[in-house]
Amino acid sequence: MTPNARNELDSILTQCALGDDSAVRDLVRRYEGMVFGVCYRMLGHRQDAEDAAQETFVRAVRSIANFNRSRRFESWLLTIAANRCRTALAARARRPDPTRLCDTVADDSPDDHAARWLDEELQRALGGLKNEHRQAFVLFHEYEKSYGDIAEIMGCPIGTIKTWVHRARRELIAQFRSRELTRSSGAWT
């Protein structure tokens, strides 16, 4: 992050702490894609992910005065998102609902059918992983966070995160192979 971007973010955070709604909106718009995306990958359900993302921002803004500015804001925000997802998954485990295993999209247009299909396949494969393996994989490969950042977000040693990402990859390719999902098979192009 450039010094200018850092200063801009600092200013937004200060305004958020003072209760400025327009700063809150600015903050949400900057990070909603990342926060919602991670929540969606973790929860596999749009509405649950929307709720978790909303709760993440509400909690973040409420605690912004306690945020240590020497930390990366993204990591801190994703830590809150990870906690929200864990809570949602724990609640789901207590009250299983088979309709929430994987979202299905009703209005498929022909143009993005392939991308949607691939997204559903990936989501299905991710759904078969342990929660921590899935989170580590998504943060590393989809959101391109470093192992150090993921260790900070998930509160684990870097070695553990590496192991989880490796295991997630192996399990995912095993699932891809069992479903014959490879580029060369022509499953997607």
Partner 1 sequence: MRHADGNCSDFDRRLQANLDRRIDLDDDVLAEHAATCEPCRELLESYASLLDAVRSCERPEPACGLADRVCVGLGARRRRGESRWKGIALSAVAVAAGVIAAIVPWFRSAPPSVASRADHAGAAHSSVAEPYVPVVGRSRAPMVSKTASSGATESGPDAVRDLFETFAEQLSADALPPLRQVNEITAVGLRPIAASFGSAFSALRNSLPVLRDDERPKPQASVPSMRLIA
Residues binding partner 1 (CB under 8 A): 19, 21, 24-25, 28-29, 32-33, 36-37, 40-41, 46, 49-50, 53-55, 57-58, 61-62, 112, 115-116, 118-119, 121-122, 141-142, 144, 147, 162, 165-166, 169, 172-173, 176-177, 181-184, 188
Q: Please, what is the minimum distance in Å from the beta carbon of residue 67 to partner 1?
A: 16
Q: What would the two tokens of residue 46 be?
A: 């749009």
CB nearer to partner 1: give 70 or 133.
Answer: 133
Q: In terms of Cα–Cα distance, which of 33, 187, 75 is closest to 122?
A: 187
Contact, 169 vs 133, CB < 8 A?
no
Nearer to partner 1, 71 or 177 (CB): 177
Closest CA to 127 of 100, 163, 151, 160: 100
> Would you say 44 and 127 are in contact if contact means Cβ atoms under 8 Å apart?
yes
3 vs 25 by CB, closer to partner 1: 25
Rounded least distance, CB 147 to partner 1, Å: 8
Whole-angstrom Cα distance, residue 135 to residue 98?
Answer: 21
